[in-house]
Amino acid sequence: MIDVYTANTPNGVKVPIALEELGVPYRVVRLDLSAQDQKRPDFLRLNPNGRIPAIVDSDGPGGAPLSVFESGAILWYLAEKYPGLMPADPVERIRALEYTFFQVGGVGPMFGQAGWFMRHSEPMPLAITRYQAESNRLTAVLEARLQVSPWLAGENYSVADIMNFGWLRAPQYAGVQLDAYPAVRAWVDRIAARPTVVRGIKAIA
Ligand SMILES: N[C@@H](CCC(=O)N[C@@H](CS)C(=O)NCC(=O)O)C(=O)O
């Protein structure tokens, strides 16, 4: 059994979606982020960074329990263990890794900061302009990729799509309008329509 420590957020939705796609049974352990559950000592033992998501796989390597934190590491771990989300083709595999890191190092931090500054009680126009511009620039990178490829890795849906979908399904959080990015919008709609994705989102709603 896999326990998923998560909440209803852009990063929190990725793991239930991946597990639904892989057909792996899991249990959701909800954390209340406003109550700072993610900073409590028992959770910090799973993720010393004090953020969701994290998992505990009761059947890790050698049959021993294994905890994993960082959504990219979690999805990579699951995709290596269970077939379905890791392209077999070596080039597509590297593309999947690229767009996974692209999300972790780019989309997540920039969208996150844009949303944070947009909602701050003290107006900070320079920060908002900077982070919204970066969020749009990164969305344009996805647009260019999706104009020439059905999925981020290539011909196959993969972990990279789930990673980025977590953020692009609610772009308004960062002030990004998908009208300007038709291929991204079509890709978001295609992913959102998958029954597995609907179930994954519902699991933490
Ligand atoms: N790079 C991390 C980011 C995790 C992250 O920022 N999680 C947010 C929710 S989307 C969180 O736990 N926020 C609460 C906090 O920062 O205390 C990942 O991909 O897992």
How far, in Å, CA of 191 to CA of 198, rounded? 9
Ligand 1 atom, smallest distance to 10 CA? 10
Q: Give the pLDDT confidence of 139-151 residue by residue, as tens digits.
A: 999 999 999 999 9
Is there a single domain that holds both residue 126 and residue 58? no
* Pairing of β 26-30 and β 54-57: unpaired
Does 104 share its domain with 58?
no
Residues 184 and 169 occupy one common structural domain: yes
Q: If you average pLDDT over every residue of the chain, what do you get?
A: 98
Residue 194: predicted pLDDT: 98
> Minimum mean pLDDT among 77-81, 121-125, 136-140, 153-157: which range?
121-125
How does residue 153 score in pLDDT terms, banded at 50, 70 and 90?
very high
CA of 17 to the centre of ligand 1 (A): 17
- Token digits of residue 71: 């959504």
CA distances from 18 to 13, 29, 45, 113, 175 (A): 9, 16, 23, 25, 26
For residue range 88-120, what is the model confidence (pLDDT) as tens digits? 999 999 999 999 999 999 999 999 999 999 999
Whether 33 lines ligand 1, by a CB cut-off of 6 Å, is: yes
Q: Compute the distance between CA of residue 56 and CA of residue 69 in angstroms, rounded to an integer.
A: 9
Contacts of 141 (CB under 8 A, 6+ apart): 102
Return the percentage of the chain with pLDDT > 70, whole number: 100
Q: How many other C-beta atoms lie within 10 A of the C-beta of residue 123?
A: 9
**Ligand 1: centre distance to CA 38 (Å):** 9
**Residue 4 φ/ψ, nearest 5 degrees:** -110, 115
Q: How many domains does the chain have?
A: 2
Rg (CA), the chain: 17
- The verdict on 102 and 156 lying in the same domain is yes
**pLDDT in the model for residue 141:** 98
One domain, residues 72 and 105: no
Query: Does one domain contain both 147 and 99?
Result: yes
Q: Can you tell me which atom of ligand 1 is nearest the CA of 70?
A: 20
Q: How far apart are CA 16 and CA 36, in angstroms?
A: 21
Q: What is the largest CA-CA distance in the chain?
A: 53
Percent of the chain exceeding pLDDT 90 equals 100
The answer to whether 92 touches 52, Cβ cutoff 8 Å, is no
Task: For residue 164, give its domain range.
Answer: 90-194
Instruction: Give the model's pLDDT for residue 66.
Output: 98
Q: What is the pLDDT of residue 13?
A: 98
Tell me how far apart the alpha carbons of residues 43 and 35 are, in angstroms, rounded to a whole number.
Answer: 13
Residues 75 and 99 in one domain: no
Q: What is the pLDDT of residues 61-75, one digit of tens each?
A: 999 999 999 999 999
pLDDT digits (tens, 9 = 90+) for 8-30: 999 999 999 999 999 999 999 99
Residues 111, 66 share a domain: no
Task: State whether 80 and 129 are in the same domain.
Answer: no
Q: What is the average pLDDT across 123-142? A: 97
Task: Looking at the chain, list the stretches that DSSP marks H as alpha helix, in order from N- to C-terminal side.
Answer: 14-22, 41-44, 71-81, 90-102, 108-118, 125-148, 159-168, 182-192, 195-204
Taking the chain, what is the end-to-end CA distance rounded to the nearest angstrom? 21
Per the structure block, which two tokens stand in for 96?
Answer: 């999947």
What's 79's domain CATH number? 3.40.30.10
**Domain CATH for 119:** 1.20.1050.10
**Can you give the pLDDT at residue 56?**
98
Nearest CA to ligand 1 atom 5: 51
- The confidence score (pLDDT) of residue 180 equals 96
Same domain, 56 and 150: no
CB-CB contact of 54 with 68 (8 Å): yes
The pLDDT tens digits of the residues spanning 157-192 come to 999 999 999 999 999 999 999 999 999 999 999 999
Ligand 1 centroid to 62 CA: how many Å?
Answer: 29
Same domain, residue pair 60 and 100 = no
Residues near 155 by beta carbon (within 8 Å), at least 6 away in sequence: 89, 92, 149
Q: How far is CA 137 from the centre of its chain?
A: 18
Based on the domain organization, do 188 and 145 belong to the same domain? Answer: yes
- Ligand 1 centre to CA of 11 (Å) is 6
Residue 75: its pLDDT value, please? 98
